[in-house]
Structure 1
């Protein structure tokens, strides 16, 4: 017969390590702390991902309250009209006047953009040129300064007259062409000054040149021929600037780094999130210690002596 096999471990248990549970508890506690701190780092970083950027305010439309301009038209043409050949003259009307050697224009109408890149300033009135005992009869009226962009403008006018050829042929029928882009204005030297709720556009001696449409309507001068320089000052009132519209940020948080979408972080709940994280750390550490101690106790109770 075989002797009964003893019940119990094949090898006697070694002496218990009294420091074991505490050491394992510290290891678990450190692991829990590291995990929780990492989670808090992700939560704290979340507000940066939802930050908003502010857009640059757009140009606004401003109403003209005062505008003055001076332009000699074309000095050689004035000399021809008033000289010994044409024996002519000119007359001004409305808000157009003359002070040697320039025509003066005044207006309180129209609108311009706050950055000076667009606008229209109309003037009521005009200039009536006559000569050659009535054979030359041309009226340039209702001028408008039309700003095409920040570097270019046009003087747009209505032109009524009889061509010299028709007049010489005995046809005195006048023809009117409206809104003719008469000359182009170089605005490279224009200044734009914003002062609170107003803007001032100003330029001195801006070069001008007759356009193809101007030549077709007026004759005498080929397209591109220089006319007299233009100077003006325009003052306009602008509406109160609206608050810039926030634009969503394009920055994102790596989905692999965050398993759960964090709540939107604000100034009101940021501190709440931090304290919640700290509470989670403490709870996790306490649970880890309890688990280790229970496992150790069960292990000791299950040992059976041989």
Structure 2
């Protein structure tokens, strides 16, 4: 996405935790001693996590070609399906003077292969940042020889924007990481300095210490000096000055709940259902005609007709026989008047494409006004952007989809109160006209052509970046599944292996 003139980096954003207010973080008020300047205070960090897969192709190599094992211990854990690692129990400090951070995590990960004769252990993982840069530091043991506290990976925070997690945690998602020279040595030269590693996601939380337990106002220094001169002019009568008695504990207009319902594209779902699998995670749910994603954070300005909303959860489409593995997560809706965009993170075996402007939204008929304390943007028409269509590209013949091609509509519901009832709106497919059939897949030809149900003239569906010479899928035109809903496809796939 666009880069601001003032880059938002980890250190500066930790300081904003105070104003974000989810955990009432406060800095101690340190008084100058003897008229001198007090040293800038340090803010303690706790409950940190580091989600980092090191390098996906290396993980695949270890359990694949090398016939080895991966073991996460001592507080580290690995996601299912040979996924990324989570290092837990992070503690550290944020220096309010230099804006530097240092966080240490629990856990170790060991990669071992008897067949390929290597044993690599990564432990005592630390993350430090200052300004736009940072590093992941660790103790690395290669075949019994340990290098302590080496910079394993360099971090680039110049374009990283902070988000807010549970309990006021600050989350810095998908920080770009590259291998250092010391890191390359630790891996016995299998990789080179500068090689791209998996992005890292860092979550930190400012510890709520004792500074606010004993305020420095010194109200009891002279408790008997004219105690009745200022008998407290009843300031408590202004607790609800905004006249919002139904929500006295919240600023007016704050979104507290919500959801996004979306089916991606009906013909694509139908294709996957012919032999693949759909998996939802992170709070997402399968609903009639698509998927429902939970509210993460949002702001609404009904008067200006603006919505900025983010949603959690993910949906993953896999079709092993055809080499397809695509996950859609971190959905965002940005609406301004009659126009809007749907942004998503798209993950394939080749890596993650962050903040893809996936679809344009037509909000010309949408109402931004709340009814029953809920703003509803219902069945908003959506169409592929060029970037969205590109996510389905096969390296040989390109994408079967084109910019401007209709996909399933989007329904957003955002509530201003905990008790408001969110609409149980099913996602509704809108491939083309939404008609139930005239020989086309859901009312349009998936490849953007004019023929009957097919995957386009080239016959390629999603090149999902599987690292293998990906599936070139040959559409079998006209084999309808359930009245114009889809087609039956055959696939041809070559096998290959890839280390990096």
How does the TM-score come out when normalised to structure 2? 0.32
2:273 matched residue in structure 1: none
Tell me, in whole angstroms, the C-alpha distance in 1 between the residues paired with 2:176 and 2:39.
29
Q: How far 1:59 moved relative to its partner?
A: 5.2
Select 2:78's aligned residue among 87, 95, 98. Answer: 98
Is the CA contact (8 Å cut-off) linking 2:90 and 2:106 kept in structure 1? no
Q: Secondary structure at the match of 2:185?
A: helix
Tell me, in whole angstroms, the C-alpha distance in 2 between the residues paired with 1:178 and 1:190.
31
Is 1:161–2:156 an aligned residue pair?
no
2:154 matched residue in structure 1: 184
Is the CA contact (8 Å cut-off) linking 2:91 and 2:104 kept in structure 1? yes
Tell me, in whole angstroms, the C-alpha distance in 2 between the residues paired with 1:116 and 1:80.
41
Alignment of 1:169-208 (within 5 A): 174-188=144-158, 189-191=160-162, 200-208=169-177
2:192 matched residue in structure 1: 222
Deviation by residue 1:205-235 (Cα, 9 ceiling, x = unmatched): 1100001121122221111100000112101
Select 1:60's aligned residue among 27, 32, 41. Answer: 41
1:210 matched residue in structure 2: 179
Greater relative contact order (Cα 8 A, min sep 6): structure 1 or 2? 1
Decide which structure has the larger Cα Rg and report it: 1
Larger strand proportion of the pair: 2
Is the CA contact (8 Å cut-off) linking 2:151 and 2:183 kept in structure 1? yes
1:122 matched residue in structure 2: 104
Is the CA contact (8 Å cut-off) linking 1:116 and 1:201 kept in structure 2? no
Select 1:144's aligned residue among 113, 118, 126. Answer: 126
Moved over 3 A (4+): 56-59, 198-201, 238-243
Tell me, in whole angstroms, the C-alpha distance in 2 between the residues paired with 1:116 and 1:95.
30
Is the CA contact (8 Å cut-off) linking 1:190 and 1:201 kept in structure 2? no
How does the TM-score come out when normalised to structure 1? 0.50
Q: 1:192 to 1:78 in 2, by over 3 A?
A: closer
2:465 matched residue in structure 1: none
Q: 1:181 to 1:122 in 2, by over 3 A?
A: same
Tell me, in whole angstroms, the C-alpha distance in 1 between the residues paired with 2:100 and 2:171.
14
Select 1:86's aligned residue among 29, 52, 66. Answer: 66
Q: 1:116 to 1:108 in 2, by over 3 A?
A: farther
- Compute the RMSD of aligned alpha carbons: 3.0
Is the CA contact (8 Å cut-off) linking 2:49 and 2:105 kept in structure 1? no
Tell me, in whole angstroms, the C-alpha distance in 2 between the residues paired with 1:130 and 1:212.
22
Paired residues in the alignment total 172
Deviation by residue 1:229-278 (Cα, 9 ceiling, x = unmatched): 011210113775999xxxxxxxxxxxxxxxxxxxxxxxxxxxxxxxxxxx
Q: How far 1:88 moved relative to its partner?
A: 0.5
For structure 1, the 5+ residue unaligned runs are 1-55, 163-173, 244-306
Is the CA contact (8 Å cut-off) linking 2:142 and 2:186 kept in structure 1? no
Is the CA contact (8 Å cut-off) linking 1:61 and 1:238 kept in structure 2? no
Q: How far 1:57 moved relative to its partner?
A: 9.7
Q: How far 1:150 moved relative to its partner?
A: 2.5
Tell me, in whole angstroms, the C-alpha distance in 2 between the residues paired with 1:117 and 1:205.
20
Is the CA contact (8 Å cut-off) linking 1:116 and 1:192 kept in structure 2? no
Is 1:131–2:102 an aligned residue pair?
no
Is 1:76–2:57 an aligned residue pair?
yes
Is the CA contact (8 Å cut-off) linking 1:199 and 1:237 kept in structure 2? no
Q: How far 1:152 moved relative to its partner?
A: 1.3
Q: Secondary structure at the match of 1:66?
A: strand
